[in-house]
Amino acid sequence: MTIQHQHIIELSNRYQIVFSDNGFILYQLDLTDEGVWKRSKVQLCRNFEAVVETLEHCELNNEDVNSLRDCASTLQAILGEIKEIKALSVSQ
């Protein structure tokens, strides 16, 4: 597998999106007691839409999302991160 590009995003959790020949790999990163970020969960996604859907699922199931306003704020945060990724992809 050749890694072509990777991007770290910060929402309620930290995620790493890796763009490769085989599609997209989404890692959830957790901070260890030693202060090091480690990959804790992994999801292979066939396309970018699946990455977005997985992020939505993970973030909307967060215990801090309790109302429609929380849902809207969470979706806006995801959209902001996705726009940043797209802008970076176009500029490279």
Cα separation of 17 and 44, whole Å?
10
Alpha carbons within 13 angstroms on the beta-carbon side of residue 10 total 2
Q: How confident is the model at residue 3 (pLDDT cuts 50, 70, 90)?
A: low
Going from N- to C-terminal start, the domains of the chain cover: 3-91
pLDDT, average across residues 29-41:
94
Is pTM beyond 0.75? Reply is: yes
pLDDT at 6: 85
The one-letter code for the residue type at 51 is: V
pLDDT at 92: 63
Q: Supply the mean pLDDT for the chain.
A: 89
What digits encode the pLDDT tens for the residues 56-83?
A: 999 999 888 999 999 999 999 999 998 8
pLDDT at 63: 84
The one-letter code for the residue type at 75 is: L
Task: Please say if the pLDDT value at position 1 is more than 70.
Answer: no
